Amino acid sequence: MRMSPAPTRASIAIVALVTTSAALAHHSFAMFDQSTTVTLEGAVKEFRWTNPHVFIEMLVKNESGAEEQWSIEMTSPEHLARAGWRPATLKPGDAITLSIHPMREGIKGGQYLSGIGPNGPLVGSRFAPPEPAR
């Protein structure tokens, strides 16, 4: 696991009323640390194609070599399908490298940013694919 600073986001001029949330206004993504980007390398345990949000459950080896499960949250199946994703895009055992914003509270989870799967970069991300560790 490697950590790197997130891209700087330009400040936004607030024009009017009420901040709400990301995605389909399901809820805020405030639990993810938007200032930190982490690269995870491991294998898919399960690709949970569920509403309201899809999750990649992946197994990552920690520094002592033990496997830990991470839950990586994406947007909804509706949004992902439009971007070219399908329930079979990832399968258990697939080697993947993901770029995420981690949970603030130390829980092994994060917000999906981009990734590399068995067939190359995963589709639809607005972020550059992660660079695998050397």
Partner 1 sequence: MSSRRAATAAAAALLVGGCDARVDRLPDWSGQWENVGATPSPDGGFYESLEQVLKELEWSPPLKPDSQAAIDRVVEIQRKAMAAMRDGIDPGGAVTACTFGFPTIMLESPLMFEILPTPKETALIFSSREIRHVYTDGREHPPEGDVWPTPWGDSVGRWEGDTLVIDTVAVKSAFPGRAGSAVIAFGGIEESQMIAFLSADAHFVERIRMLDNGLLENRMTITDPANLTGPWQMTRTYRRETHIDRMVHEDCEGEERNPIVDGKFTLTPPP
Contact 56, 117 (CB under 8 A): no
Q: Cα–Cα distance between 116 and 90 in angstroms, integer? A: 11
Taking the least distance from each CB to partner 1, the nearer of 2 and 86 is: 86
The least CB distance from residue 134 to partner 1, in Å, is 25
Taking the least distance from each CB to partner 1, the nearer of 28 and 62 is: 28
3-class secondary structure, 56: strand
Q: Cα–Cα distance between 92 and 43 in angstroms, integer? A: 7
Taking the least distance from each CB to partner 1, the nearer of 101 and 134 is: 101
Taking the least distance from each CB to partner 1, the nearer of 5 and 134 is: 5
Cβ neighbours for 77, distance < 8 A, ≥ 6 positions apart: 49, 50, 51, 54, 87
The least CB distance from residue 3 to partner 1, in Å, is 17
Binding footprint of partner 1 on the chain (CB under 8 A) = 9-10, 12-31, 33-34, 46, 48, 50-53, 55, 57, 71, 73-85, 103-105, 107, 109, 111-114, 122-127
